[in-house]
Amino acid sequence: MRKKYIAANWKMHTTLGEANVLASNIIKKSKPNTNQHIIFFPPFPYIQSIADLVSGNESYSVGAQDCASEPKGAFTGEVAAFMIRSVGGKWVIIGHSERRSHFNESNETLKKKVELTLDENLSVMFCCGETIEQREKSIQNQIVETQLEASIFHLNPAAFKNIVIAYEPVWAIGTGKTASPEQAQEMHHYIRQLIAIKYNDRLADEISILYGGSVTSTNASSLFSQPDIDGALVGSASLMTDEFISIIHVGL
Ligand code: PGA
């Protein structure tokens, strides 16, 4: 049975104190089932602190929202994958649409980040998704295929197992507009087919594919009931303790 994930992307929100309270309350009050895993993605400076909170609890882990595309060196302001590992991070989000659009991250740059992250034995949450203009032209499948092909499909099968894919249509992120369960399922199924063609059926069946984009406790259950949706990458709703706990408790 595929592992199910509920991930909290806190983006550029919270103070250290707020992040600690949020994570502590979620850990205290939520009861993930044995096949569910919860990941907190706080801002960089709080990773160590949240890693201490989740330490020893197998249902939770912590990760970074990004990492540098260079291994180390004179890159003022950047945070390398090995640094994330050294403060207890287990995951890195790579290819979030906000990184692609606001910071002009190309598929080639993302490929480098993926490799550096995996080299540190961290797992990758790889985001892909089309814009509204691309969906209106019905080229969403092509766009997602290109994103996967250019940044992760070069990996060998052993490395690919450390990837979780998050399909996040850009038009659904932070907009309150969610993809319908059918639209999401269609894309998740398409992604799984691509993995089967590129690798094999077994690997395609093992890889978890999350949906992201305005997930709330109200729409979570219809999304999670789709056969190829293995959880969610949650932005705004993950900053609200009860709302996020409700998404976990919808169950998967
Ligand atoms: P949202 O963000 O839930 O606020 O739409 C999702 C994301 O950006 O990962």
Token pair, residue 51, equals 């890693």
- Closest residue to atom 1 of ligand 1, CA basis: 235
Contact assessment for residue 142 and residue 153, using Cβ atoms and an 8 Å cutoff: no
Q: Tell me: the pLDDT tens digits for 85-143?
A: 999 999 999 999 999 999 999 999 999 999 999 999 999 999 999 999 999 999 999 99
Q: Which of 96, 105, 115, 188 is catalytic?
A: 96
How sure is the predictor about 20, in pLDDT bands with cuts at 50, 70 and 90?
very high
Collapsing DSSP states into helix, strand and coil, what is residue 4? strand
**More confident call, 168 vs 1:** 168
Given the CA of residue 236, which atom of ligand 1 is nearest to it? 4
Given the CA of residue 213, which atom of ligand 1 is nearest to it? 5
- Closest residue to atom 3 of ligand 1, CA basis: 235
Strands 209-212 and 163-167: parallel
Average pLDDT of the chain? 97
- Tally of CB atoms within 10 A around 92: 26
Ligand 1: residues with CB < 6 A are: 9, 168, 173-174, 212-215, 233-237
pLDDT at position 251: 73
Terminal Cα-to-Cα distance of the chain (whole angstroms): 11
Q: Which of 37, 120, 168, 188 is catalytic?
A: 168
Collapsing DSSP states into helix, strand and coil, what is residue 250? helix
Given the CA of residue 238, which atom of ligand 1 is nearest to it? 3
> Which residues pair with residue 62 across a beta bridge?
40
Which of 94, 219, 234, 246 for mutating ligand 1's site (highest number of atoms within 8 Å of CB)?
A: 234
Only one residue has tokens 């991930």, namely 7
Given the CA of residue 212, which atom of ligand 1 is nearest to it? 6
- What average pLDDT does the segment 51-74 reach? 97
- What average pLDDT does the segment 18-33 reach? 96
Parse the chain into domains and list their residue ranges: 4-250
Collapsing DSSP states into helix, strand and coil, what is residue 25? helix
Token pair, residue 42, equals 């706080």
Q: Say what percent of the chain tops pLDDT 70.
A: 100
pLDDT at position 177: 87
Only one residue has tokens 């093992």, namely 206
CA distance 60 to 52: 11
Residues contacting residue 199 through CB under 8 Å, at least 6 positions apart: 157, 160
Does pLDDT of 252 surpass 70?
no
Which of 6, 168, 239 for mutating ligand 1's site (highest number of atoms within 8 Å of CB)?
A: 168
CATH code assigned to 4-250 = 3.20.20.70
Q: Tell me: the pLDDT tens digits for 116-130?
A: 999 999 999 999 999
To the query of whether residue 168 is one of the catalytic residues in this protein, the response is: yes
Token pair, residue 39, equals 């990941």
To the query of whether residue 102 is one of the catalytic residues in this protein, the response is: no
Please tell me the distance between residue 200's alpha carbon and the centre of ligand 1 in angstroms.
30
